[in-house]
Structure 1
Amino acid sequence: MLQQLLETGLRQTMNRLVKPVLNPAVPVPLQRRIVSQAYRSSRPPRGARFEKAVVGGIPATRTTCGNNPHGAVLYLHGGGYIIGSSTTHRGITGHLAKSSGCTVVAPDYRLAPEHPFPAALDDAEACWSGLIEEGYRPEQIAVAGDSAGGGLTLALALRLRDKGLPLPASLTVFSPWVDLTQEHLYSPECEPVLQPAWTSKAARLYAGKEPLNTPLISPVFADLSGLPPLLIQVGSQEILLNDAERLASIAKRDVVQTRLEIFNNLWHVFQVHSGQLDRATAAMETVGEHIKGHLAG
C-alpha cells in the first residue's frame, strides 16, 4: 500500500513539476537550470562517492559505491541531447555503481543546440577511448544510458563496430529514444513526463542538418548485427514505449541477445527513483546482474 501511494505521489510530482518544463516554449537554458534542481529528488545510495574527472579529454563524473570496484560502466545521461549532465544523474549512477559493483563514468558530452550531431557521439567515443587508455579492456566495460543517452549508447556501439574496434561487454538502455522521426510514438492514457512537441524540437536541434532517420541518430534504422547483449527497460506510461519494443524486435531480428522488460504503470526513466521506489530499485538490481554477467574477469 505504501509503495502504491509513493508511485502515485511520484507520478503526480513528475506531471506537475517536470512535464511543464519540458515544453518547446521554455528556453533551453532555463530548462537546464530547472531540471538540474528537479533531479535533486533522485538520491544516490549511502556510500556512493563522486569524483570529477577528465576521461579521454571529456569532463566526467566518476562514481563508485563500495570497495574494490570491478570493471567500468560508461553511462550516457539522457535529456533529449539538449539538457542533463553527469551531476543531474548522480542518483542513477550511484545506484548503478552499487548494483553492478563497477566504477561508473558519466561524461558531460556536448549538448545541442550549441553542439549538434555528431558532437555527443564524438564525445562518447572519446570517453570510451579514454577508458581504454586507462587500462580497461573493452570486455571489462559496459555501456548504459537513459532516454537520449540510450540512443547514444546504441550509436556508440554501432560506430565502434563499423570501425572494426572491439565492443563493450554489454549494453543497457532505460526508456531509449531511438527514433527521432517520431513517426511511431506510443500514445499512453497517462504520460507523466514527456511531451511530443518537446521531443520533436529536441530532435531537430540535435540532428541539425542531418536527416532524422540517420542510423547514428535513430538506431532503429540501423543494422544491429554483432552488437553485445542488450537489456532494455521501459515503462508502459511513456511515449517511447514503441521505441523500446521496436528496438527489441530489430535487435532480435539481427541476432543480438536481447531482453526487454516493460514495467506496467511506470513512467519515463523511472529508475531515477531507485532507493525510493521498490520496483525501480529491483529494476536497477536486474541491470547490475546483466552487467556483471557479461563482464570479463
Structure 2
Amino acid sequence: MSWQSALACWVLRRRMRPETAKPGIDVERARRLTSKRAWLPKVPSGWRLEERYGHDAAPLRGEWLLHGQPSHITVLYLHGGGYYFCSPATHRGLVFPLARRSGARTFSLDYRLAPEHPFPAALDDALAAYRKLLADGVPPGSIVIAGDSAGGGLALATLLALRDAGDSLPAGAVLFAPWTDLAATGASMTTNDGLDPMFYGRAFAPAGKLYSGDADVRNPYVSPLYGRFDGLPPLFIQVGDTEVLLDDSTRVAQKARAAGVSVELQIWPKMPHVFQIFAPFVPEANRALEQAAGFVRRVTAAQAVETS
C-alpha cells in the first residue's frame, strides 16, 4: 500500500465516511459537496472535450472526449454517485486517464438522477445512449461499456436489458467496484463495515430505495446481481478488499463464470472505493487503469478479428 493510497484513505475516513453515518439522505448536500470538491483535470494533450446538451427531441446529455486522430474504440462511460449525485464532470479524473491509456474515444453519459427521476430513467438513458452509437454507425464490437459504483451496476443492468431485447452486445464491460445489489445483502456489508474508509454499510439500503422507487429492489434491471448472466460479453471487475461493496463484485463474478461468461476479477488490497479516480496521485490507481485499458484494447481487437 503506497503512502499516497494511505493518505487518500485517511482523508476519506475523516471526511467522507462520517457523512454516510447520518440518518436519512440529504440529496442536495451530497450534490453540493461533490460539486465543490470536484477536481477538474486538464484535457489530455491531443484530445478535445465536447459537451452535448439535451433537449426535448434528444434528451441525452453528456460529454465526448475525442482524440485528434480517429479511434476504432468507443467507451460509453456511466459515472457513479448512488444514482442521485455526481456527473460526468466529477468523474473526469477517472474517465480521462482511461481514455488516454486505451486510446478510446469516450462518451460520458449525464443520465437522469433520482429522486427526481427514479428507476428506470437511468437505465432508459443508458440504453438510448448505446443505441444512438449503433444508429450512428459505431460497430457494437468496437464498444465497451464502463462504469463505477452505481454506474458499474448500471453498466451491468444495461447489458442484461440489451441482451433481453435482442440488441447487438458490446465487446465487453469494465466495472469499477460495481453496486449490483441494491438490497444490500452481501456479507461484506457487515464484515467490512469497520474497514471501509469511505462508507458505512447501512448507508446502501436507503440509497437503493431512493433509486428503485416503486420497483422491486431485486428487479434485475435495478440490481443486476439477481439477473441471468448467460450470453453476456467479457467482464473486467476491480474492487478493493476492504470495501463494504466487495461482495457485489465477487458474487457477480461467481454467477457470471457459472453462466459461461469470461470474467477477470481483480481484488486490490486496502484500496478505497473506486480508487481509480485518484489517478495520477495514487500509483495503484495508475496501474489499475492501465490494466483496465488493456482489457478495453484486447476485447475490441478480438471482436475486430472475429468480424473480419
**Residue 224 of structure 1 pairs with residue 226 of structure 2:** no
**Residue 151 of structure 1 pairs with residue 136 of structure 2:** no
Matched with 2:95 is 93
Where do residues 46-65 of structure 1 align in structure 2 (5 Å cutoff)? 46-47=44-45, 49-54=48-53, 57-64=59-66
User: 1:18 deviation in Å?
Assistant: 2.2
**Residue 245 of structure 1 pairs with residue 245 of structure 2:** no
Secondary structure at the residue paired with 2:236?
strand
Matched with 2:8 is 10
Distance 1:100 1:223 in 2: 29
Matched with 2:287 is 282
CA 1:112–1:193: 2 relative to 1, 3 Å: same
Secondary structure at the residue paired with 1:20?
helix
Matched with 2:185 is 183
Secondary structure at the residue paired with 2:88?
coil
With structure 1 as the length reference, what TM-score do the two structures score?
0.93
Q: Which residue type is aligned with residue 157 of structure 2? A: A
Q: Which residue type is aligned with residue 36 of structure 1? A: S
Aligned partners of 1:44 and 1:275 also within 8 Å = no
Match of 2:84 among 79, 82, 89: 82
Aligned partners of 2:44 and 2:100 also within 8 Å = no
Distance 1:235 1:206 in 2: 24
Distance 1:232 1:174 in 2: 6
User: 1:133 deviation in Å?
Assistant: 2.1
Matched with 1:269 is 274
User: 1:82 deviation in Å?
Assistant: 0.8
Match of 2:205 among 178, 200, 203: 200
Matched with 1:110 is 112
Q: How many positions carry a matched residue from both structures?
A: 294
Distance 1:214 1:39 in 2: 32
Distance 2:100 2:23 in 1: 36
Match of 1:127 among 118, 126, 129: 129
User: 1:70 deviation in Å?
Assistant: 2.7
User: 1:71 deviation in Å?
Assistant: 1.8
User: 1:26 deviation in Å?
Assistant: 5.2
Match of 1:234 among 233, 236, 239: 239
Match of 1:139 among 141, 151, 166: 141
Secondary structure at the residue paired with 1:95?
helix
Aligned partners of 1:24 and 1:197 also within 8 Å = no
Distance 1:225 1:11 in 2: 37
User: 1:276 deviation in Å?
Assistant: 1.4
Any idea what the Cα deviations from partners look like across 1:203-259, whole Å, max 9, x if unmatched? 011111111111111111111000000001000121011111101000001100001
Secondary structure at the residue paired with 2:38?
helix
Aligned partners of 1:50 and 1:64 also within 8 Å = yes
Greater mean deviation of Cα atoms: 73-82 or 180-189: 180-189
* Identity of matched residues, %: 37
Q: Which residue type is aligned with residue 283 of structure 1? A: A
CA 1:162–1:207: 2 relative to 1, 3 Å: same
Q: Which residue type is aligned with residue 266 of structure 2? A: E
User: 1:53 deviation in Å?
Assistant: 1.5
Q: Any unmatched runs of 5+ in structure 2? A: none
Aligned partners of 1:233 and 1:260 also within 8 Å = yes
Distance 2:145 2:187 in 1: 25
Q: Which residue type is aligned with residue 267 of structure 1? A: P
Q: Any unmatched runs of 5+ in structure 1? A: none
Q: Which residue type is aligned with residue 228 of structure 1? A: P
Aligned partners of 2:156 and 2:224 also within 8 Å = yes
Distance 2:203 2:43 in 1: 31
Question: In angstroms, what is the RMSD of aligned CA positions?
Answer: 1.8
User: 1:183 deviation in Å?
Assistant: 1.4
Distance 2:53 2:170 in 1: 20
Q: Which residue type is aligned with residue 239 of structure 1? A: V
User: 1:24 deviation in Å?
Assistant: 4.5
Aligned partners of 1:18 and 1:35 also within 8 Å = no
Any idea what the Cα deviations from partners look like across 1:273-297, whole Å, max 9, x if unmatched? 1211111111101111101111144
Distance 1:24 1:50 in 2: 39
User: 1:75 deviation in Å?
Assistant: 0.5
Greater mean deviation of Cα atoms: 189-198 or 262-271: 189-198
User: 1:115 deviation in Å?
Assistant: 0.7
Q: Which residue type is aligned with residue 155 of structure 1? A: A
Distance 1:87 1:101 in 2: 20
User: 1:12 deviation in Å?
Assistant: 1.0
Any idea what the Cα deviations from partners look like across 1:166-208, whole Å, max 9, x if unmatched? 0011111000110111112412242111222322211011111
